[in-house]
Structure 1
Amino acid sequence: MSKATTSRTWFLTGASRGLGAHWAEAILARGDRLAATARDKAALAPLAERHGDRFLPLQLDVRDSAAVRAAVRSAEERFGGIDVLVNNAGHMLVGAVEEAEEEQIRAQMDVNYLGALWATRAVLPGMRERRAGRILQVSSLGGLIAYPALGIYQASKWALEAMSEALAAEVAAYGIHVTLIEPVVFPTDLAAASPQVRQDPAYAHAHQALWAGAEVSGFTPGDPAATAEAFLAIADSPEPPIRVMFGTGGLEAVRTEYAGRLAELEQWDHIARLAQGKPNGS
C-alpha cells in the first residue's frame, strides 16, 4: 500500500459502501485521520470502533449545502484542517431522458454534481490559506462518453468534469491539486442501490443498446478492493493528473469516441465557416 511521508487529514463522502468503503479502510490503515460521511452514520460504526480518535463519522446528505459546510467545519475543528477532499457520494439513475421523473433528475444533479460542488467550496478557504490541498472528484467513464439510458447520470458527471477542470486552473496558484477519478466498470451495486425510472416500452431499444454496447466494448469488471492502492498513489503523487481512469478498456473507448467527434467536426467544418461570416461583414 502506498505511504505518504506525513500523516494527513481526509474528508471522504459516501464512505459506507462501494469504492468509498475500500478507500476509507485504506486511509485509516496507513495511520491518517479521516472524517467520513454517510447518509446513515450507523453504517460507519465499525470503523469508529476500530480507529477511535483518528476517525470522525458524520451523518450527511450532500444535497444540503448548509449541512455540508457544517460537516466540513466539524472536521476542521476536530483535526485542524483538511488536506484531502474526496467527493465520492453519488448514485446512478438508469433510464432514458424522457423516462426520468423531474424529482429524479434534480436529485441526480443535486447529489452527483452539486453535492461535490458544495463540499469543494467548503474546503477551499482552508486549503487556500494553507496553500496546499488535494481534491479528488469521483467521476466516471460516463463523464467522458455518453451512452443511451444513462443520459441524466452522465450529465451530472459531465458537469462535474467541467467544473473541476476550471477549478484546477483557478486554484493551482495556491498549491491545490484537483484530480478527476474516472472508474470504468466495477461491481459495486451502484445502479441497484440507486433510484430507478419506470421503464417505458418506447425506450426498450435504448436499454438494450446500453447493455449491448457494454458487451461490444468488452469491459472487464475490475476489483473494487484493488482501487485502494491506485487511489492512494494518486493522492500521494507530487504532480497528479487532472484526469485518471481506474480500470481497463476505458482508454480504448475514449480514443474511439474522440476520433469520431473530431472526424464529424471536420466533416461539418464548412458549416462552422458559414456561420462565421465574412470579415467585417463584407
Structure 2
Amino acid sequence: MTENVKTPRVWFITGASSGLGLEFVNAALETGDRVVAVARNIEKINEMYREYPETLLPLKLDVTNRGAVFSTVATAIEHFGKLDIVINNAGNMVLGMIEEQSEEEARSQLETNFFGALWVCQAVMPHLREQSSGHIIQISSIGGLVSGPMAGVYSASKFALEGMSEALAQEAAHFGVKLTIAEPGGYWTNLYLKMRTSQPMDAYDPLRNELAQQNSEGSVDSDPRLAAEAILKLANSENPPLRLILGSVVYDIAIDSAKKRIDVWKQWEEVSRAAEKAIPAPEGYGEMEN
C-alpha cells in the first residue's frame, strides 16, 4: 500500500523577523513546510536558518519598495518553485491623536500597512493565478474593525487594507485563489517596544489620562503562539472565511460594534431611503465628447 505523503507547502511571510510574523514562521517550519521569511532586518531569521537550511529562505525586504517586492517574490519562486500561502504581516503603528500625527508618521503607517500589502498582492497574484491555487492571508487588526482615540491613522491603514482585500478576494476567487482577512487583538509581541507616539499636545492630556486609566485595569493580551495556531488551522481549511477574528475580546467588540451600527441604520432608515429615488439619466449624461 502506498502511503499518502504530504507535499510541503511554501509560505511567503512579511514582517517575519519578530512578533506574530516570527511565530508564523516557526509554526509553518515545525509542520514541515517551507518558508520564505522576509523582513527589513533578517538577523534573527538568519539564526533560524542554521536549524532549517533546506526549508527556510531569509530575504531582506522593505515592503514599501514596490520594485523590491516584485524582485523578492521572483527570487522566492525561483528558489522553491511556487508559493502556496502568502501572509501580509509587515506593519507599524504610531499612537497619537489625529491632530498630533505628523505627515511622516501618517504616511509611514499607510506605506507599510496598506501599500506594502498591496505591492505584495500585486506581485504574487500572477503566480497564484497561473497555478490556480493559493491562499493570501492579510493580517489586519481590531483596528480594522473599530477605531478609537490615538489609533485613528493606524485604523485608517487597516480599514484601507480590508477594503482592498474584500475586492481582491472576489477577483482572486475566479482563479481558485483564496483570501482571508485575519483580525487579531492584543498579543505580547515587540510591537509595544517598537511602537512610537506622536508629539503630544497639552489640549489632549485629559483624554490621554482617561485612556491610560482604562488601559491600566489589567492585561487582555495573549501568547502570540495562539495566533500562530489559529493561522495554521486557517491555512489547513478547505473553505476558509473572508474574515477570521483572533481573540475573545476582539470577537465581542466586533459583535457589539456591528449591532450598534445596525441599530443606528434602522433608526435613520426613513431618511436613508428618502435620499434615493431612481430617475432617468439627465440629457447628455455619459455622452463622450468628439
How high is the TM-score relative to the length of structure 1? 0.92
- Give distance in 2, aligned partners of 1:109 and 1:276: 34
CA deviation profile, 1:154-197 (whole Å, cap 9, x unmatched): 11111111111111111112111101111111111313303321
Q: Which amino acid aligns with 2:37?
A: A
Deviations, residues 17-47 of structure 1 (Å, cap 9, x unaligned):
1011111111111111111111112231111
Task: Name 2:144's counterpart in structure 1.
Answer: 143
Larger radius of gyration: 2
Distance 1:212 1:262, change over 3 A: farther
The answer as to whether partners of 1:91 and 1:191 remain within 8 angstroms in 2 is no
What corresponds to 1:263 in structure 2?
A: 263
- Number of the residue aligned with 1:233: 233
CA contact under 8 A between 2:184 and 2:227: conserved in structure 1? no
Give the letter for the 1:19 counterpart. L
Q: How far apart, in 2, do the equivalents of 1:108 and 1:255 lie?
A: 27
Structure having the higher helix fraction is 1
Alignment CA distance shift 1:82-1:278 (3 Å): closer
2:55 matched residue in structure 1: 54
Query: Distance between the aligned counterparts of 1:146 and 1:7, measured in 2?
Result: 39
**Over aligned residue pairs, what C-alpha RMSD do you find?**
2.1
| Distance in structure 1 (CA, Å) of the matches to 2:241 and 2:49 | 32
Moved segments of 4+, more than 6 Å: 278-281
Report the Cα distance in structure 1 between the residues aligned to 2:278 and 2:34, rounded to whole angstroms.
61
Deviation at 1:211, TM superposition (A): 4.5
1:91-170 → structure 2 map (5 Å cutoff)? 91-170=92-171
Displacement of 1:241 after TM fit?
Answer: 0.6
Alpha-carbon spacing, 1:177–1:209, altered in 2? closer, same or farther (3 Å): farther
Residue identity opposite 2:72 in structure 1: A
Partner of 1:242: 242
State the 1:207 CA deviation: 3.0
Give the match's secondary structure for 1:249: helix
Partner Cα distance (2:20, 2:179) in 1 = 19
CA–CA separation in structure 1 for the residues paired with 2:269 and 2:172: 35
The answer to whether the Cα contact below 8 Å between 1:93 and 1:191 also exists between their aligned partners in 2 is no
8 Å Cα contact 1:33-1:55 kept in structure 2? yes
Query: Match for residue 11 of structure 1?
Result: 12
Deviation at 1:219, TM superposition (A): 7.1
CA distance in 2, matches of 1:191, 1:7: 34
Aligned pairs, number: 277
